[in-house]
Chains A and B, each alone.
Chain A
Amino acid sequence: MAEYSVLITSSPFQGDTALRALSVAQGVIDNGDVINNVFFYSEGVHHTNNLMLKTGDELFVFDSWKTLATEHNVKLLVCITAAVKRGIVSELEAKENGLSQANLTAPFEQAGLGEFFTALHDCNRLVQF
């Protein structure tokens, strides 16, 4: 059994990248392998903004990740440094900085690169999208 770490560094609208990432994640689970964590970094943090709205017949990544997390207990980690500078904030940052709204909520969790690299010691595969 392989243990995977999934690194998302592309924005949700970069071609079919998000679609491929979600398909691979589902495929890993279907194969009976394990996803240790999905880590959203760089432009990838935009996947986790809960203020996004679904449009037409396009893939709605926010919901898809959420479903993956709740159905298969996959850990969704969001790099806090990359997220806050792009306006993806939790209740705590919203309160501390007088912002009107928080847009990062469970099952997405804030984490640092440290958590990603610590978990990587347990993973034999790393896939990046």
Chain B
Amino acid sequence: MAQLLIRFTQSPFSNAKSQDGLDFALAATNYGHDVKVLFESQGVLQLVKAASTKGLKNHTKRLASMPFFDIEECFVCKASADTYDIEQVLSNNSLVDELDCEWITPEEKVTLIQSVDHVVTF
């Protein structure tokens, strides 16, 4: 079993990475790996609730399914949320609560990265 950290660094709809990254994370736990997730840089925007759009997968709902795939440890880069000035938005956001996200500083981010076996970035 490997400890994987999946970094989400892209906004939810700018390219295919957010969706592919989530598929990657959800598949990993099915095959006996331990997955942690970190939202940083533009990736923090994935936590802002988005309405459904016909023809696009609802990223908010798909993210909310992570606990059902045994992805329990979610981290949010506080500095990134500050950059986009969405700390207030995220602190009143049920998705952040559902995922039980932990806010971390850049120093804690380094410790987190060092604590896992593999890091994959989307």
Residues of A within 8 A of B (CB): 7, 9, 41-43, 81-82, 113-114, 117-118, 120-121, 123-126, 128
Contacts and interface: CB of A to CB of B under 8 A. Distances in A.
A42 B20 contact: yes
Contacts of A114: 27, 30-31
Interface string B104-117: 00000000000001
Contact of B27 (A9, A117, A123, A124): A117
B117 to A, nearest CB: 8
Contacts of B30: 114, 117
B16 A42 contact: yes
A117 B33 contact: yes
B31 A42 contact: no
Nearest to B118: A126
Contacts of A7: 120
25 contacts: A7-B120, A9-B122, A41-B20, A42-B16, A42-B17, A42-B20, A42-B122, A43-B16, A81-B23, A113-B31, A114-B27, A114-B30, A117-B28, A117-B30, A117-B31, A117-B33, A120-B2, A121-B2, A123-B2, A125-B118, A126-B2, A126-B118, A126-B120, A128-B119, A128-B121
A41 B17 CA distance: 10
Contacts of A118: 31
A7 B30 CA distance: 18
Given A9-B122, A113-B28, A126-B120, 11 more contacts: A42-B17, A81-B23, A113-B23, A113-B31, A117-B27, A117-B30, A117-B31, A120-B31, A121-B2, A121-B32, A126-B2
A113 B121 contact: no
